[in-house]
Structure 1
Amino acid sequence: MPHFLKKFFPVVYRKTQQRSLDSNYCKYDNQGLQLFTSSLYLTGLTATFFASYTTRKLGRRLTMLVAGLFFVVGMAFNAAAENLAMLIVGRILLRCGVGFANKAVPLFLSEIAPTRIRGGLNILFQLNVTIGILFANLVNYATNKYVHLVTCFRAS
């Protein structure tokens, strides 16, 4: 979204506003933006290894609580982000939550579910994750449209 780029990635925003660039090639070539994007994936990979140890030593329930704590703290950081560092720390914490939850929840479900519905329950977990991603994208879309609507009203 343009206002997001303008606040956190002004160099990228300026590149996207240049009329001389007809394609998206090199518009988003920025190390801060790359760190912002890749922090999610690198942290998820790393968190999975720590989650494996935590799940073994502390149990599934406590690991899920730790994941929830990561989610809440990461969300607070992202909501209150005033600069790129806060935004990246928030995303790292969120991805730690995802890594811990994706490790502990399927194990927990497999342990508590009767054998006849075990596979279906784990498929429902994955379906709910996918539905959550869909809702996140719908919220992003609606937020983007709302910002454009507010901008249009302010201009008139």
Structure 2
Amino acid sequence: MFFMFINCTILTTLGSFVTLCGQRQLNNQLPWSPKHSVCDFCHHPLSWWQLIPILGFIIQRGRCHWCDARISAFFPISELTVILITVKTFSSSWSHNLIFTIVILTLLYLSTTDFISQVIYPVALIGLFPLLLVLPRQSFSIGKLMVELVIMGLFLFGLQHITKGAGNGRY
């Protein structure tokens, strides 16, 4: 139970960071620049307590502490979803947990970019490849797995090159 709590805490914090990365990438920013998170409306730097996943949203009652603008519920809902998925998929196997961590964070990144700008970066779908290691297979062959990975990788990179980001409705 303690390890599940620690795992949920770490994954929720990572999930919050992944949504930040997705949001900043859409704004043509780097994840570490600007140095501090700011309100999307008044651009006031956020205090440490406002950045606590889920609790920061609850403490502020869904509004910016500085300008009273409504904060999108997408972020705390996605963080809560990460907790629920972590509780459901948690196991004693570190490799199983690592695979599901990668997949959960990838899905969170994809849903963030899709929610904010209706853009899905096909190259980000690479984070779903570890699912091939845990999904049931009739026969496991390293050679066949490598061929599948290469074909999927070529497809995703081709899609990225052609569309400049799937989901944007542009060619």
TM-score band w.r.t. shorter chain = 0.3 to 0.5
Larger helix proportion of the pair: 1
Structure showing greater radius of gyration is: 1
Report the TM-score when normalising by structure 1. Answer: 0.34
TM-score scaled by structure 2?
0.32
